[in-house]
Amino acid sequence: MAWVNSEYANELAVLATWLSALMPWSFSVASLDFGTVVVIRFLFFHIQYVLGVSFGDQEQILFTVLELQTFYENAQTILAQQIWLVGAVVFVLALAFSIALYLAEDRVANARADPVRVLGGLLSLTGLLLTAATVLLYQSFVGVAIPLGALFLLVFGVTLLRVERA
């Protein structure tokens, strides 16, 4: 039994991609001597709060994925940030393809490759990359890392790859 009717597969692919763009892929929480650090990672940026400490005008809570490439000194965390960057690039391809599918469904749907499978593959690859980044962050970051959005990307991707096409 298919989870999605074949006639709605393109719409599901676009919707899953756009929802994934809005969803944080990872949460991290760490209790340190000076306070609690909460990090919410989205595909293109992360938000970092340090509860219990005020940095005044020097406080920066929003970092882009490119800024984070030089933020940490731990080799394992740097590798996790680089994998995250690759995942973000793969997701940009998925997002661009989903916009093309939304705007020109007939032309994209008539291409050689099935657009639902293409988006399913790109979302799955993004989910795998972000899961790998989470594993590295879990090993190098003090605290707990929860890969919520990365798991949703994998579920969306596998669902799209398993859609029965008529």
* Mean pLDDT of the region 115-124: 95
| For the ranges 46-50, 58-62, 68-72, 127-131, the one whose mean pLDDT is highest | 127-131
- Whether 69 has a pLDDT exceeding 80, the answer reads no
The pLDDT value given to residue 1: 46
∠ CA 32-23-100, nearest 5°, is 145
Most confident of the following: 53-57, 75-79, 126-130: 126-130
Contacts of residue 26, Cβ cutoff 8 Å, sequence gap at least 6: 39, 40, 41, 130, 133, 134, 137, 145, 146, 147, 148, 149, 150
Task: Compute φ and ψ for 17, nearest 5 degrees.
Answer: -65, -45
Tens digit of each residue's pLDDT (9 = 90 or more) over 133-145 = 989 888 877 778 8
User: What is the pLDDT averaged over residues 86-114?
Assistant: 90
Q: Is residue 73 over pLDDT 80?
A: no
Helix (H) or strand (E) holding 102: helix 75-103
Has residue 58 got a pLDDT over 60?
Answer: no
pLDDT of res. 108 = 79
pTM: 0.86
